[in-house]
Structure 1
Amino acid sequence: MEVKTFLDLIEWTRKLHAKLAECLAHCASHHQDERASLLLDYLALHETEMEKMVAAFERQAIVNQVNLLAVPIQCTGFIMEL
């Protein structure tokens, strides 16, 4: 994903937190150690909350038309290709 605007950056951040929450929840359900599973569940819930906060910020940014140009960022790899 190429980030061209601040709104793109906010969207990418929201997707990142959503993906992390999904991965952590998946790992929690498949982990044998109860303590590790509980920790992964906690982290998944935290990432879900972070996604919700960023989504609220994204909605506000759309309302305020923050679709301004940002410094272009071109990255390839796992994280940037959400």
Structure 2
Amino acid sequence: MMQIETIRDVLHWTKDFHQQLSQCLSHCADNNTDERARMILAYLSEHEKTLTDVVSGFEKNGDEHALNTWCYQYVHHNPITRHVHCDAPFVELDTAQIMDVIVDQHQQVIELYRYLASRAAISSTRELLESLCSLEEHEVMRLAQSSNRLGDL
């Protein structure tokens, strides 16, 4: 488990979350027997790679005061557990089940950002967290729309 003390650490954790999810989805796409599931897994893997890069940009270019804000107390009481994504058998899931798992995992990240934003005393920290929350929310909506379009094929 990564030691999370500051908002920068939260961003680093989120970047790792998206990166590991991308790798897992890619691996599972190669082994799923359902063609639509393989397509959605490959699409989701690419999407997670993009999110990895976007969060990395926030981590590199964010306001230093916001990034260095302590959030240890929250994390101490509500530990962030690194998801072991490949324990979720994406290989055996259909497209709807895959989307349920992905949306649930993203919702957990969104809830973390929401909570930290609600507790932020510094406006730059709150704005950064609200931007990240908004990004994740929009990406989940986009994923759902893309998944629905794929289901219509």
TM-score (norm 1): 0.83
Higher relative contact order (CA 8 A, sep 6+): 1
Q: What is the letter of the counterpart of residue 47 of structure 1?
A: E
Larger displacement relative to structure 2 (29-38 or 64-73): 64-73
Q: Which runs of 5+ in 1 are unaligned?
A: none
Structure number with the higher helix fraction is: 2
| CA-atom RMSD in angstroms | 1.8
Distance change in 2, residues 1:10/1:77 (3 Å):
closer
Kindly state the Cα deviation for residue 67 of structure 1 after the two structures are TM-superposed.
Answer: 1.4
Paired-residue identity, %: 32
Q: Is the radius of gyration larger for structure 1 or structure 2?
A: 2
Distance change in 2, residues 1:76/1:5 (3 Å):
closer
Within a 5 Å distance, the mapping from 1:50-61 to structure 2 comes to 50-61=51-62
Name the SS of the counterpart of 1:37 in structure 2.
helix
Q: Deviations over 1:16-57 (max 9, x none)?
A: 000000000000011111111001001111111111100011
The aligned length equals 78
Kindly state the Cα deviation for residue 69 of structure 1 after the two structures are TM-superposed.
Answer: 1.1
Name the SS of the counterpart of 2:23 in structure 1.
helix
**Does residue 80 of structure 2 align to residue 79 of structure 1?**
no
Distance change in 2, residues 1:76/1:56 (3 Å):
closer
